[in-house]
């Protein structure tokens, strides 16, 4: 029975045009993944049962676990974000996914030597103080962070790497040694199917997972338009603390952190700058988080009923919503803020527009009008 449900989840989330947001809205509307599948199959080509069974076997061969959103091992910090991946592939110590003290460190791929040393030192010191470090296993700052964390605790420190590829695809290839070591003493995580290669559109999606797993995010060297600032934005949207290492105004790689500091990020020169803030905010975060979980758990049994009531009262699709969607694409959250509809009305109409072929899903939680 467990495998049957996992197969259903794999088939639905790997259907073209079905992202996490649509997945959960379908689940809320139809009441089960199986029923949602039956609805989607009328309009879209759904991956076969054989493909899903093969995917599970591919994961087993690589010693990867496929953890679904309803599995108790699924990271709770990530679970209640609006676009949490319905499934995660994990290799290593899965218990680390719910480690309570977690800080992400991200930054430039073309990092300076000084920037790499800073990231490594911060990661080492955090790990020595029993704080787990999460990053994205990219070149530069990410790699330095993982190395610093793993060198701590007598070279047995744990760290989490969130990949923008399949959990079995090492990118960049020169990080194969880091990858193997993280698998052995930490945790490798991905939302992408086995064997998924590196694609530029996948990395912004990965960033939201990095920030969601963490209580805070530290930026060490980043351009103003870098992926690291996307991670910072995700962290801000999730209500997390932001830390930034300052740098020379003449250094382009310092533009991102310096900008964040101007906007209110905590200026960070050493690990104490991080821990001093987290020390007094951690308890509030934990209390707020627990309150949030309790509220969600109490409401969980009534979700389907309340959603069905709202859906019944939803008016026909308004042309004004379609007019707000451009052919180039628009962020779903931005569209929701500006459409004047309730959340239930909004997602009902988005689903209708999608299934009638008037809009399509894009990466990064965006939708675009179809010409």
Query: Which residues touch 72 (CB under 8 Å, ≥6 apart)?
Result: none
Q: Which of 49-53, 104-108, 298-302 has the lowest mean pLDDT?
A: 298-302
DSSP string, 109-130: TT--HHHHHHHHHHHHHHHHTT
Question: Is residue 105 within 8 Å of 111, Cβ to Cβ?
Answer: no
- The pair of three-digit structure tokens given for residue 127, joined into one six-digit string: 């790990």
Over the stretch 275-317, which tens digit does the pLDDT of each residue have? Answer: 998 874 444 444 444 444 455 444 444 434 333 333 233 333 3
352 or 47: which leads in pLDDT: 47
pLDDT band, residue 61 (cuts 50/70/90)? very high
Give me the residue spans of the domains in the chain. Answer: 2-89, 94-282, 308-369
Predicted confidence at residue 359, as pLDDT, reads 87
> Is the domain defined by 308-369 classed in CATH 3.10.580.10?
no
Gap between the terminal Cα atoms of the chain: 42
Give me the phi and psi of 15, to 5 degrees please.
-75, 135
30 or 285: which leads in pLDDT: 30
Pairing state between β 102-107 and 65-68: unpaired
Which H or E run contains 55?
Answer: helix 49-61
DSSP string, 241-307: EEEE----TT-GGGHHHHHHHHTTPEE-SSHHHHHHHHHHHHHHHHHHHHHHHHHHHHHHTTHHHHH
Predicted confidence at residue 315, as pLDDT, reads 36
Query: Which residues touch 90 (CB under 8 Å, ≥6 apart)?
Result: 64, 65, 67, 97, 167, 187, 188, 189
Predicted confidence at residue 300, as pLDDT, reads 44
> Is the domain defined by 94-282 classed in CATH 3.30.300.130?
no
The CA distance from 345 to 313, in Å, is 9
Query: Which residues touch 39 (CB under 8 Å, ≥6 apart)?
Result: 26, 30
The CA distance from 263 to 267, in Å, is 11
Over the stretch 185-198, which tens digit does the pLDDT of each residue have? Answer: 999 999 999 999 99
pTM greater than 0.85 (yes/no): no
In order of 10, 124, 188, 213, 256, the CA distances from 153 in angstroms are 38, 8, 19, 22, 31
Predicted confidence at residue 285, as pLDDT, reads 43
């Amino acid at each position: 029975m467990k495998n049957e449900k996992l197969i259903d989840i794999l088939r639905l989330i790997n259907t073209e045009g079905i992202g996490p947001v649509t997945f959960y809205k379908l689940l809320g509307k139809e009441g089960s993944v199986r029923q949602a599948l039956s609805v989607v199959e009328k309009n879209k080509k759904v991956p076969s049962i054989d493909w899903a069974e093969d995917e599970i076997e591919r994961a087993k061969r690589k010693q990867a676990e496929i953890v679904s959103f309803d599995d108790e091992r699924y990271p709770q910090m990530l679970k209640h974000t609006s676009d949490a991946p319905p499934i995660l592939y994990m290799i290593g110590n899965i218990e680390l996914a719910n480690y309570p003290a977690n800080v992400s460190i991200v930054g430039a791929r073309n990092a300076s030597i000084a920037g790499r040393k800073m990231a490594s030192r911060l990661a080492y010191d955090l790990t020595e103080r029993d704080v787990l470090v999460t990053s994205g296993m990219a070149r530069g700052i990410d790699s330095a962070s993982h190395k610093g964390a793993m060198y701590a605790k007598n070279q047995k420190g744990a760290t989490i790497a969130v990949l923008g590829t399949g959990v079995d695809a090492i990118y960049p290839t020169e990080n194969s040694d880091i990858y193997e070591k993280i698998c052995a003493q930490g945790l490798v995580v991905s939302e992408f199917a086995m064997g998924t290669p590196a694609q530029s559109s996948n990395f912004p999606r990965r960033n939201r997972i990095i920030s969601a797993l963490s209580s805070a995010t530290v930026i060490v060297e980043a351009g103003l338009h870098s992926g690291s600032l996307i991670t910072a934005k995700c962290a801000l949207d999730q209500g997390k603390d932001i830390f930034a290492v300052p740098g020379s105004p003449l250094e382009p790689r310092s533009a991102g952190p310096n900008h964040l500091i101007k906007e209110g990020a905590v200026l960070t020169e050493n690990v104490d700058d991080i821990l001093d803030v987290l020390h007094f905010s951690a308890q509030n975060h934990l209390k707020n988080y627990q309150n949030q979980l309790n509220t969600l758990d109490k409401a969980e049994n009534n979700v389907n009923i309340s959603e069905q009531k709202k859906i019944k009262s939803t008016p026909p699709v308004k042309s004004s919503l379609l007019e707000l969607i451009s052919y180039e694409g628009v962020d779903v959250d931005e569209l929701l803020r500006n459409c004047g509809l309730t959340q239930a009305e909004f997602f009902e109409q988005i689903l209708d527009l999608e299934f009638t072929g008037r809009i399509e899903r894009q990466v990064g939680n965006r939708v675009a009008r179809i010409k």
